[in-house]
Amino acid sequence: MYKCDLHSTPCFIQDGRHLQLNPSRLQLWAREIINKGTTYDIPPSYPVFDMKSSVFINKNNSATQMQNSQTSNTPTPIFIQLPSQVYQNPTNTHLELPSSSKLPSIGEFLNNLDLKYNCNNIYAKFEDAFLEEEITVNAIKDLTDEQLQKLGMVKIGWQKNIKQAAQQY
């Protein structure tokens, strides 16, 4: 749909006007599609997609003319929008921790697993083993299956459930 017979690059063609889609424009358009800011058929509303910087092709396709001669002399800026998690203010990073990330005690964590999976003290019985090894909730996700077995968690389901629940910490 965006293949252009006149240019070596893909073009967005609208009303006989060709806007060449260079790599930076394609990247920006793709990012906006992913972020649900536009669609495949409608270019984003950034200045680099302004049709004033496009080229008009006459019906014979033998001549091209610029609608606005000033735009040909003005360099087109390239805007690349990064997701907000890429650039964070390092001085405020410690203040942005959500309250839900408060680390529960091992006992609270294991009791919550028993409630979640409707178990009768299956997970809570491992509290002493975790305390003996001084394992905190945030360290559980890094434990190997062998280490969990050493703590008494011999069933694969128990291991998977506890690791999955610990991922949020």
Digit-coded pLDDT (tens) for 45-84: 877 777 776 777 765 554 444 344 334 445 555 555 555 5
Query: What angle in degrees, to the nearest 10, is found between the helix axes of 106-116 and 156-166?
Result: 120
Confidence of residue 17 (pLDDT cuts 50, 70, 90): confident
Domain ranges of the chain: 11-73, 103-166
Q: Provide the whole-model pTM.
A: 0.41
Digit-coded pLDDT (tens) for 84-140: 554 455 544 444 444 455 888 999 999 998 898 888 889 999 999 999 999 999 999
Confidence of residue 4 (pLDDT cuts 50, 70, 90): confident
- CB proximity list for 161: less than 8 A, separation 6 or greater: 113, 117, 123
Q: Residue 138 and residue 167: Cα distance in Å, rounded?
A: 8
For residue 156, is pLDDT > 90? Answer: yes
C-alpha pair distances (Å), 131 with each of 12, 96, 114, 124, 151: 63, 29, 18, 12, 10
Q: Residue 110 and residue 97: Cα distance in Å, rounded?
A: 23
Q: What is the CATH number of domain 103-166?
A: 1.10.150.50
